[in-house]
Every structure is written in structure tokens, then in C-alpha cells.
């Protein structure tokens, strides 16, 4: 008998966020012939119009009643704050643990975000203490566990040493157009991602980007990605204006996947303003890698392990790094992404854990 597959995710609307994109990419790769139902707490018209997408129950009993009763498989796209504003989805964890202990089926969890680290004096410290304790029980009953970064895997293994946590970075949320002619604009840098992430990157890298603009290493910046907040768009525009770029800037906003790929293929650099630990869980970073961009990051270092060794720091650009070396790093980064973290590879690994033939 074909078992039912249930996916539980905090978001599912197309291009809503990284977890939604991750889920959509997996479903695209799997070409499922078996029954699949997606449960999500997300509430919007885009979700309500999708087939097989249902609202996630609001309490322990409601969630438990939604899980398969016989021979089912549950795949959880776990993001603590995505399921609960305090970062501790207690009822969800309890329902999953009780369901699995009944021997009802197979449970696989991908941990995108786990918990915040708070000082003992912070009011959230106790909440996260109980959260970690609950996750220990969840990890003990999982059939397979994945996460997107080595640091998160270390945290989860400390909570439950018996758990065999597999590190599986995300894929590119923008597929490169195969065979498309690439004509890169010299000095053009792309800043891709959700609007709040872009604004944060411009703030944190303002001094470095201004120096690169003054030197002429970066002559133009194009921003693209989701974001409809008028105030944030104005903040982004002000930050870009303060850079005094020789060829100005363009705010593209949300674009189709094809248009995003074309824009990324026309740029020379990709600006990454998140921290080093975020590389392997950032769809934007993987999109830069897939499109063979020279990725600019403050934390870049040639002596660091992949993929950080293939990024370029603002200081290196200001110091006049060799063009061939920049090209080599971009090529290495692209090959690393394609061979290890294409969606085909990711879907195959998670699909194997779920016993899906891909």
C-alpha cells in the first residue's frame, strides 16, 4: 500500500521565504506519484488556493489528529520562530513525539532554524531551555535528521548525542539558465535577497562598499528580491545613494526566476552581508555560486575551509587582487555548489530518508 506523505512547514507561498522556496524545490524534484498533504500555519489567499495545502492545527490534539493514522511519512521543515512567535512550538513537538512513539510511521525533520542563544538574565532564557529539552525528545524519535549548517548540527548533537544529524546546505533558489549567453557588466554588483536582508547588508557593509565605489571596483549595484515595505525600500534607496556609485544603482524588486537569473548572469560581483555561518543556509548565496559570481563578504579568507576560501573580502579588492584569481575562485565556488548542493542532490538525499524514489 502506498503510504501517505505529510509535509509540515511554516510557510508555503511561492517566494514567501527560504523555507517555502526549499519546500517548492523539493516537490519539483521529487515528481511525487504518492499522496501528499501540506500543513502550514501560514494564512493567505495564495495558500488557500493551492491543492492539498491545509491549515495546521492550533493545538496538540488538533495537530495529532492531522497526522497519518497508518503507514504514513511525516516530513517537517522546522523553523522554531516560523511555527511560534516565542520560538518554542511546544504543541507541534509534543504531537510529533507522541505520534512517532505510537509506531504510526516514519518521521524526518529538516532543521532550518533551531533556537536563539540568550543570556541567563534574559526572559527568553527559560523558554529556550524548555525548547531544547523538548527537542531532545523529538530527536530521539526521528528516523532521520537534517540541518543546513555544521554549527546547528553541533548544537543538535549536544542536545541529543545519539542523534545522527546530517548537514545538508540549501540549494540555489534561482536556477541558472542553461546555455544562456553571459555578458557580465564590469564593476556591476548584485545584491539579492529579501528586502530586510538587503537593507541590513547595506548598513553593515556601508563603509566597505563606499570604499569600493570610490576606488571604482564597484561602479553599479542592482538589487533584486522580495519586499513590498515602502519604508524599507526608501531606506535601501538612501543607503545606495550614499555610496556615490559611478554608474548609479537599480532597484529591481521582485522578479521572475528567469529575470533573476538573467540579472545575476549580467553582474560580476555578488554582495553577501550575512555572517559566515549563514552561507550554507542562504538561497541567495547559493544563487550567487550557481551563477559564478565573485562573492564579496567581510569574513572572506583564503585560508578558511570551503566555501569561504573562494569568496573575496573588500580589503582584497581594494588591495588589487589579481583578475585571474577572482575568476578561479568564482569557478571553484560554482563547481562546489553544482556538484554537492544542486537541488537534484539535495532532493535525492532527503527523498532517500523519506523513502521516495527520485
130 and 236 belong to one structural domain: no
pLDDT at 120 over 50: yes
**For residues 289 and 129, which has the higher predicted lDDT (pLDDT)?**
289
214 and 265 belong to one structural domain: yes
60 neighbors 66 (Cβ within 8 angstroms): no
311 and 347 belong to one structural domain: no
The reply to whether 129 falls in a domain is yes
329 and 260 belong to one structural domain: yes
69 and 163 belong to one structural domain: yes
Torsion of CA 280, 283, 287, 289, to 10 degrees: 0
9 and 149 belong to one structural domain: yes
The reply to whether 247 falls in a domain is yes
31 and 146 belong to one structural domain: yes
At 46-71, the pLDDT tens digits run: 555 555 888 998 899 999 999 998 77
Give the torsion sign (CA, 332, 334, 337, 342). Answer: negative
154 and 21 belong to one structural domain: yes
d(CA 204, CA 201): 5
Q: Which three cell numbers stand for residue 117?
A: 542563544
Q: Across residues 240-250, what is the average pLDDT?
A: 97
d(CA 221, CA 290): 19
Torsion of CA 353, 354, 357, 358, to 10 degrees: -70
At 314-327, the pLDDT tens digits run: 999 999 999 999 99
What is the CATH number for 300? 3.40.50.2000
pLDDT for 121 equals 64
Q: Across residues 33-53, what is the average pLDDT?
A: 73
77 and 104 belong to one structural domain: yes
Range of the domain at 116: 5-171+342-354
The reply to whether 180 falls in a domain is no
The reply to whether 183 falls in a domain is no
pLDDT at 290 over 90: yes
pLDDT at 224 over 90: yes
The phi, psi pair for 239, rounded to 5°, reads -65, -40
pLDDT at 117 over 50: yes
pLDDT at 164 over 70: yes
d(CA 93, CA 139): 10
The reply to whether 245 falls in a domain is yes
pLDDT band, residue 16 (cuts 50/70/90): low
331 and 348 belong to one structural domain: no
95 and 201 belong to one structural domain: no
The reply to whether 182 falls in a domain is no
The reply to whether 99 falls in a domain is yes
The reply to whether 176 falls in a domain is no
- In the chain, the N- to C-terminal Cα span, in Å, equals 19
55 and 35 belong to one structural domain: yes
- What is the total count of domains within the chain? 2
207 neighbors 185 (Cβ within 8 angstroms): no
pLDDT at 44 over 60: no
Q: Which three cell numbers stand for residue 212?
A: 569600493
pLDDT for 18 equals 81
pLDDT at 178 over 80: no
* Burial (CB count within 10 angstroms: exposed 0-12, middle 13-18, buried 19+), residue 292: buried
pLDDT at 223 over 90: yes
- Express as a percent the part of the chain with pLDDT over 90: 66
pLDDT at 1 over 50: no
Amino acid at each position: 500500500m502506498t503510504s501517505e506523505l505529510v509535509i509540515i512547514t511554516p510557510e508555503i507561498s511561492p517566494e514567501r521565504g527560504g523555507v517555502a522556496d526549499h519546500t517548492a524545490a523539493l516537490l519539483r524534484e521529487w515528481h511525487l506519484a504518492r499522496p501528499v498533504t501540506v500543513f502550514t500555519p501560514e494564512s493567505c489567499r495564495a495558500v488557500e488556493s493551492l491543492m492539498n495545502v491545509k491549515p495546521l492545527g492550533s493545538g496538540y490534539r488538533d495537530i495529532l489528529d492531522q497526522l497519518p493514522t497508518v503507514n504514513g511519512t511525516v516530513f517537517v521543515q522546522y523553523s522554531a520562530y516560523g511555527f511560534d512567535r516565542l520560538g518554542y512550538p511546544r504543541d507541534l513537538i509534543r504531537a510529533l513525539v507522541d505520534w512517532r512513539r505510537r509506531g504510526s510511521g516514519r518521521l524526518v525533520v529538516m532543521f532550518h532554524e533551531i533556537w536563539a542563544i540568550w543570556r541567563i538574565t534574559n526572559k527568553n532564557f527559560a523558554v529556550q531551555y524548555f525548547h531544547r529539552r523538548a527537542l531532545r525528545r523529538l530527536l530521539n524519535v526521528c528516523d532521520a535528521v537534517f540541518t543546513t549548517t555544521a554549527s546547528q548540527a553541533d548544537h543538535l548533537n549536544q542536545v541529543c548525542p545519539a542523534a545522527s544529524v546530517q548537514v545538508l546546505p540549501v540549494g540555489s533558489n534561482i536556477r541558472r539558465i542553461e546555455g544562456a549567453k553571459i555578458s557580465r557588466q564590469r564593476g556591476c554588483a548584485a545584491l539579492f535577497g529579501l528586502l530586510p536582508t538587503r537593507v541590513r547588508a547595506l548598513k553593515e557593509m556601508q563603509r566597505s562598499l563606499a570604499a569600493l565605489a570610490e576606488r571604482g571596483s564597484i561602479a553599479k549595484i542592482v538589487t533584486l528580491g522580495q519586499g513590498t515595505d515602502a519604508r524599507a525600500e526608501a531606506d535601501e534607496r538612501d543607503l545606495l545613494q550614499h555610496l556615490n556609485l559611478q554608474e548609479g544603482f537599480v532597484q529591481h524588486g521582485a522578479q521572475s526566476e528567469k529575470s533573476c537569473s538573467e540579472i545575476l548572469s549580467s553582474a560580476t560581483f555578488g554582495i553577501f552581508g550575512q555572517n559566515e555561518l549563514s552561507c550554507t543556509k542562504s538561497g541567495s548565496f547559493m544563487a550567487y555560486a550557481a551563477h559564478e559570481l565573485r562573492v564579496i563578504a567581510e569574513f572572506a579568507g583564503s585560508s578558511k575551509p570551503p566555501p569561504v576560501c573562494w569568496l573575496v573580502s573588500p580589503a582584497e579588492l581594494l588591495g588589487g587582487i589579481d583578475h585571474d584569481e577572482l575568476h578561479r575562485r568564482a569557478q571553484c565556488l560554482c563547481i562546489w555548489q553544482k556538484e554537492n548542493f544542486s537541488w537534484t542532490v539535495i532532493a535525492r538525499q532527503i527523498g532517500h530518508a523519506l523513502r521516495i524514489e527520485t
